[in-house]
Amino acid sequence: MHGTAPFVDEAIRQATIAAHDLHRFDGDERFDAITAFAAALLGAPVALVTLLDAERQRHLSRVGTDVAELPRSASFCSHAIESPGIMIVRDATLDPRFADNPVVTGDLHVRFYAGAPLLSAEGFPLGALCVLDTQPRDGLTPLQTQGLTTLAASVAAILHARRENKALRDSEMRLRSLADALPHLVWASNPDGVPLWINQRWVEATGVAIGLDSAEAFLRVIHPDDHALITERWRTAKASGEAFECELRILNPAGEPRWAMIRSVPFRDDRGEVTHWFGTATDTHGYRLAIEERELISNELSHRIKNIFAVVSGLIHAASRGADDAAALPTSLIDRVAALGRAHDFVRPRAADGSGKPVTLHGLLGTLFDPYRAGEVSRVRVAGANPQIDDRATTPLSLLYHELATNAAKYGALSGNDGWVTLDCIAGDDGGFELLWREQGGPEIHPGDRPAGFGSKLIESSAIRQLGGTLERTWHEGGLAVRLVLPAGALAPA
């Protein structure tokens, strides 16, 4: 047992007392047994376990008196705590410190006092274990001295255990408060995985206050398809005593799955035995969706790049077959690749002028047909419905109508000064569209009057394979007529 610390600061001593959580003390049977034994050991009528607050002496246990407390000014124990061992007052009436004390002159009629200080783990005196008698005595026998010292040490041990329990409760309370403040799901379980507690975020995120009854309680908020995964990970971790983690889906209050990263770590005692498991679940749903979206965009980009290579390859092949001589090939090829460039302007950003405004059919076609103007008058007149179009529709539409305009300039209505083209867009009741291209005022053309293959392949590739539509071509006295029918969602998904 530590000796009494000399000149102990009273504020420090009071703080040490507060750490023992004695302000809520409502009795302890162990103290009562010790005070009863101390009274019997010394053959004294009164025994006390005292605690010295700033202004009073509280009796945590008492035998032989009903007095629950005394003013500190009347306390013998306030002197006993300054003694390195047992303080003995043989006759209080002869001791100038106590002769006029109310407990000596009053009804308690104290004459003899023997008190052993109760020391904290740091050696700070908290109070005393004392015995009182109404008759003077010569002192204590060696056995009584040893017994009173041993009993005081027992009281101090009980107080220390109470302090440790308070520290543990405070630590757990701080842990729970911290856990409730975290955005993660937090829980603790016993070595077998039975839940001991969960934080408030768990209840908010799942809508379920799980029963603290079995290890299977956790499965109530986990997507059924992930039960096998978490069960296997837990079985392995329990057998090895090692931390584990896995990503799985937790059901929210609406029963919808959200991805979360689960991690659980063991807590061991001094012998290395697992006493608890602590776990967290961190929401990774947004991150998971971002990865999936990124993969989708990557796949879409890869698909588009492949399409561009296929289109350019087709342009080269078709242009080489359609050119009258080698000198005409570069011009033809450059012209068609430029059409791809104009189409790309409508893909990123969402408008040819970079304004970010939605792309419309008239806006796209107006840009493509701008070179075919006669002064202020457009020779390709677009009319009818003007739906918005998305990225996927701009390239095939641009290639298709650029090719029709190019052919009209070479062979059809735009090859002379008097011809023109009308392009009408008609919205269908089913959400689809019908686009009617009709050349007028040009030379009469028949299917065999111009090189075959290029227009058919490129137009059919754009209209049928990429847009999912159907296409009809007819030749009449004024030139070519093309009817393109597109299903709902071909220009922009609903």
**Residue-wise pLDDT tens digits, 308-362:** 555 565 556 545 555 555 555 566 566 556 655 555 555 443 444 445 567 889 9
Q: Is 280 helix (H, G, I), strand (E, B) or coil?
A: strand
Is 250 found in the same domain as 202?
Answer: yes
The string of DSSP codes covering 235-298 is HHHHHHT--EEEEEEEE-TTS-EEEEEEEEEEEE-TTS-EEEEEEEEEE-HHHHHHHHHHHHHH
Residue 347, domain member (yes or no): yes
Instruction: Note the pLDDT of residue 6.
Output: 46
Residue 81, domain member (yes or no): yes
Q: Are strands 420-427 and 433-440 parallel, antiparallel or unpaired?
A: antiparallel
Higher pLDDT residue, 116 or 211? 116
Separation CA 191–CA 212 (nearest Å): 14
Domain extent at residue 357: 322-486
By the 8 A CB rule, do 233 and 244 touch? yes
71 confidence band (pLDDT: 50, 70, 90): very high
By the 8 A CB rule, do 108 and 67 touch? yes
Residue 481, domain CATH:
3.30.565.10
Residue 493, domain member (yes or no): no
Is 145 found in the same domain as 59?
Answer: yes
Is 478 found in the same domain as 424?
Answer: yes
By the 8 A CB rule, do 72 and 52 touch? yes
Separation CA 415–CA 418 (nearest Å): 9
Separation of CA 203 from chain center: 14
Residue 232, domain CATH:
3.30.450.20
67 confidence band (pLDDT: 50, 70, 90): very high
Structural domains counted in the chain = 3
Is 95 found in the same domain as 66?
Answer: yes
Q: Which of 109, 141, 169 is the last residue in one of the domains?
A: 169
Q: How many residues in total does the chain contain? A: 494
Is 56 found in the same domain as 103?
Answer: yes
Average pLDDT, the chain: 82
- Look at residue 380 and tell me whether its pLDDT is greater than 80: yes
**Residue-wise pLDDT tens digits, 108-156:** 999 999 999 999 888 899 999 999 999 999 999 999 999 999 999 999 9
By the 8 A CB rule, do 249 and 223 touch? yes
Residue 47, domain CATH:
3.30.450.40
Residue 302, domain member (yes or no): no
Mean pLDDT of 293-306: 64
> Quick one: tokens of 361?
């059919």
Q: Which of 115, 142, 169 is the last residue in one of the domains?
A: 169
Higher pLDDT residue, 295 or 308? 295
Is 104 found in the same domain as 198?
Answer: no
Residue 441, domain member (yes or no): yes
If one counts every other C-beta atom within 10 angstroms of the C-beta of residue 314, the result is 16
Q: Which of 121, 147, 169 is the last residue in one of the domains?
A: 169
**Residue-wise pLDDT tens digits, 423-435:** 999 999 988 999 9
Is 218 found in the same domain as 249?
Answer: yes
Instruction: Note the pLDDT of residue 359.
Output: 82
Residue 314, domain member (yes or no): no
Residue 305, domain member (yes or no): no
Separation CA 486–CA 9 (nearest Å): 92
Amino acid at 119: L
Separation CA 381–CA 421 (nearest Å): 6
Give percent above pLDDT 70 in the chain: 80
Is 198 found in the same domain as 156?
Answer: no
**Residue-wise pLDDT tens digits, 87-103:** 999 999 999 999 999 99
Residues 6+ apart with CB under 8 A from 180: 199, 200, 201
Is 341 found in the same domain as 472?
Answer: yes
Is 100 found in the same domain as 157?
Answer: yes
**Highest mean pLDDT (candidates 6-15, 75-84, 168-177):** 75-84
**Highest mean pLDDT (candidates 166-170, 413-417, 448-452, 485-489):** 485-489
Residue 176, domain member (yes or no): no
Is 141 found in the same domain as 191?
Answer: no
Is 278 found in the same domain as 161?
Answer: no
